[in-house]
Amino acid sequence: MHGSDGGGGGAGAGSRVAWPTDGLSFGGDYSPEQWPWEVVLDDMRLMREAGVTLVTLGVFSWVVHEPREGVFDFTWIDRMLDLLHENGIAVDLATPTAAVPMWLHRLHPEILPHDELGHPLAPGGRLGFCPSSPTFRRFALRIVEALAEHVAGHPAVRMWHVGNELGGGNARCHCPVSNEAFRRWVEARHGSVDALNTAWGMAFWGNSYSSFDEVTTPSGVTAHNPGQLLDYERFSSDALLECYRTEKAVLKRVTPELPVTTNFMVGLGPDVVDYARWAPEVDIAANDHYTYGPDPLRHQELAFSGDRMRGISGGGPWMLMEHAAGAASWHPINQPKAPGEMIRHAIAHLARGSDSVMFFQWRASRSGTEQFHSAMLPHAGPSSRRFAEITRLGRHLEALREVRGSVVVGARVALLHDDEAGWALKSGLKPINRPDYAATARAIHTALFERGVTVDVVPAWHPLEAYDLVVVPGLFLVSDADADAVRRFAEAGGTVLVTWFSGIVDVSNTVRTGGYPGAFRELLGVRGEEFSPLTDEQTIELSTGWRARRWAEVVSPVDAGTEVIASYRVGGAVDSGPPGEGAGGAAVPGGFGGVVADGVDGGLAVSRRPVGAGAAWYLASDLEPEGLGELLERLLDESGVRPAAAASAGVEVVRRAAGESSWLFAINHGVVEGWVEATGVDLLSGTAWEGRGVVPAGGVAVVREE
């Protein structure tokens, strides 16, 4: 009845759901309860001027709907829904459960989450509840049901937004309720105490349990068991998912016609919850994405997150639920977006498969924690560069409405990325105790991004048949089944690249013995015996001239077919540390005076093994960008992967398609004019492109291809 033509794809098992707006959705979080009525009326005029089509309403409005325990008052929401509807603006209505009312904190102080040291957090802020608290859940589901019953059938309401960023602040609780819930979760997963002791290896340090009642959350300052730490991450993700599921069940019962989502915080990973495993539970996968101003590669980080959203949402389209119009306010230093950057970022999200451009928030707050966070309508008001750009963006999105419902095409590269692997990496002591799970994935993604190659960043269990090249970057934990799928992919003719510290542990965070890299050893035809990580000052040169840092290992070819592509050059180790602590900039024959183990010098650094109709490559070190780029060019060549379109350096290119139509997105992140090969019409400028088009410095184009 509400909604539109149902063109969008759902995240859940291929379900088709009604997208909330006819065209691309444009708008943001809207908190009119913070403003007097005359400002709200002004908002309507300015939203129409900017072309806003959707707002997320009521995210923190619990105390407005239920000002006192059990007393409901929906006059404000009625008034807002009517007003927005009269102005042609659709509503993504939030359940208000991220904002625990102060009266509930007073009635039930025990619902507050407890930190690692067992201290309760303070009331105030948001998400002030233990995810496992039955008391909180009883109150939460009561307001959700009352709100849903009240607004059911209102034509402005097009979708549900459950809570807000579940786990953003309360993701790891150590209160007594969480401890009990963890015990029961562990019991359900492991079945018997013996199985649990084996899985976690509790014989080490004599930690074996005699009963599940002895299990606790890994709180305090003890050096906890890696298996316990990993399972606690899984438990915490599941507890938050249960919060979402229970609300969703109420919403589906009362308003079955409305799509239900919640805003993910998909970044580089590992994230606080396992979004890939959550994704089947949302009708439309939605993400909040914030760049970090000083990061010179922030547009690439944005692309990584977009490729990940697509990878976990079954190909999309997905929804950009929040990003910033300018500066955030939680970093130590918060830099605004440069002129044009906000539009480039918005179009880049669309290019990666979003069908919406939404912001936090519509109007900049005067008070409250985020009073200096940027907004679509800044403190300066509508007469501002920011609002002028927002209005320009609104016109762009109107010009692009035909793109809605199309999907990104041409991704022949899969990059396997899994939160569980990232969690396992930071659980317990390792050869390097500054885990940066996403670093290798991001370096490889950057190299492919710069070459215009479209990549799907997918969970480790994602089907691989559609790809030509599969990259396995530092997948520390892998299940037997997922490792086997990678082997079968290579046998069937695919090219695989596995990088260092992959396949080391199983799903219990237990080391796979017999030689590294455990799960991939046979596929790669190599066998490693020892790791030899480098200090920040140390680098190693390879026989190919490539330079590597961070990591080396003692690894040898063990299969007749394994070809050594690059080895550590004898004497290629350099320590540029201060004199007295290392070689002081000189190459040191034989390694770093014993720091790098014998056997690394001259040993295997990059290998290739033919496997069935395909091949498996191993990268045993962390190549600097130039060498990594050259290696990837060889792999792209071997697997026949081409860029989305030929383009000049600095121009991002991605293609979306639906049926017979296709659109090439071109975003020039550079400071000089660029070009892209395409034929068609740029929908943003109206210019016809014949074979090639120009993208001005900092500019964007979306070409409907002929």
One of 322, 341, 506, 682 touching ligand GLA (CB under 6 A): 322
490/388 Cα distance (integer angstroms): 51
Sequence-ordered list of residues with C-beta below 8 angstroms from that of 32, at least 6 positions apart, any chain:
39, 40, 43, 57, 80
Beta-bridge partners for 458: 416
Q: Least distance in Å: CB of 240 to ligand GLA?
A: 15
Contact at 8 Å (CB) between 247 and 95?
A: yes
136/181 Cα distance (integer angstroms): 14
Binding mask 327-356 for ligand GLA (x = CB under 6 A): -x-x--------------------------
Q: Least distance in Å: CB of 168 to ligand GLA?
A: 7
Q: Is 165 in the active site?
A: yes
Q: Does 360 bind ligand GLA (CB under 6 A)?
A: yes
- How big is the site for ligand GLA, counted in residues (CB under 6 A)? 9
Closer to ligand GLA by Cβ: residue 290 or 663: 290
Q: Least distance in Å: CB of 540 to ligand GLA?
A: 27
616/609 Cα distance (integer angstroms): 5
Closer to ligand GLA by Cβ: residue 373 or 386: 373
Closer to ligand GLA by Cβ: residue 72 or 330: 330
648 CB burial (10 A radius; 0-12, 13-18, 19+):
middle
691 CB burial (10 A radius; 0-12, 13-18, 19+):
exposed
CA-based R_g, the chain, Å: 26
Candidates 233, 301, 322, 652; catalytic one: 322
Instruction: Give me the phi and psi of 575, to 5 degrees please.
Output: -120, 115
Closer to ligand GLA by Cβ: residue 370 or 450: 370
370 CB burial (10 A radius; 0-12, 13-18, 19+):
middle
One of 66, 165, 307, 419 touching ligand GLA (CB under 6 A): 165
Residue 440, CA distances (Å) to 26, 392, 427, 467, 652 in order: 34, 37, 19, 20, 21
Mapping DSSP to helix (H, G, I), strand (E, B) and coil, where does residue 424 land?
A: helix
Q: Least distance in Å: CB of 265 to ligand GLA?
A: 7
Candidates 66, 165, 233, 522; catalytic one: 165
Closer to ligand GLA by Cβ: residue 28 or 259: 28
207/228 Cα distance (integer angstroms): 11
97/61 Cα distance (integer angstroms): 8
Q: Which residue has the tokens 């977009």?
A: 306
Mapping DSSP to helix (H, G, I), strand (E, B) and coil, where does residue 27 land?
A: strand
Closer to ligand GLA by Cβ: residue 221 or 560: 221
Q: Does 373 bind ligand GLA (CB under 6 A)?
A: yes
318/323 Cα distance (integer angstroms): 14
Instruction: Give me the phi and psi of 381, to 5 degrees please.
Output: 95, -175
644 CB burial (10 A radius; 0-12, 13-18, 19+):
buried
Binding mask 269-288 for ligand GLA (x = CB under 6 A): -------------------x
Q: Least distance in Å: CB of 466 to ligand GLA?
A: 32
> In degrees, to the nearest 5, what angle opens at C-alpha 56 toward C-alphas 379 and 249?
155
Write the DSSP symbol of residue 706.
-
Q: Which residue has the tokens 């539009």?
A: 343
Q: Least distance in Å: CB of 431 to ligand GLA?
A: 13
Q: Does 370 bind ligand GLA (CB under 6 A)?
A: yes
Q: Least distance in Å: CB of 329 to ligand GLA?
A: 7
Q: Least distance in Å: CB of 462 to ligand GLA?
A: 26
Q: Is 116 in the active site?
A: no
Stretch that binds ligand GLA, among 297-305, 322-330, 337-345, 588-596 (CB under 6 A): 322-330
Q: Does 30 bind ligand GLA (CB under 6 A)?
A: no
Sequence-ordered list of residues with C-beta below 8 angstroms from that of 434, at least 6 positions apart, any chain:
none
Mapping DSSP to helix (H, G, I), strand (E, B) and coil, where does residue 538 land?
A: strand
Q: Least distance in Å: CB of 325 to ligand GLA?
A: 11
Mapping DSSP to helix (H, G, I), strand (E, B) and coil, where does residue 656 land?
A: strand
Catalytic positions, written as ranges: 165, 322
Q: Residues interacting with ligand GLA, by CB under 6 A? A: 164-165, 288, 322, 328, 330, 360, 370, 373
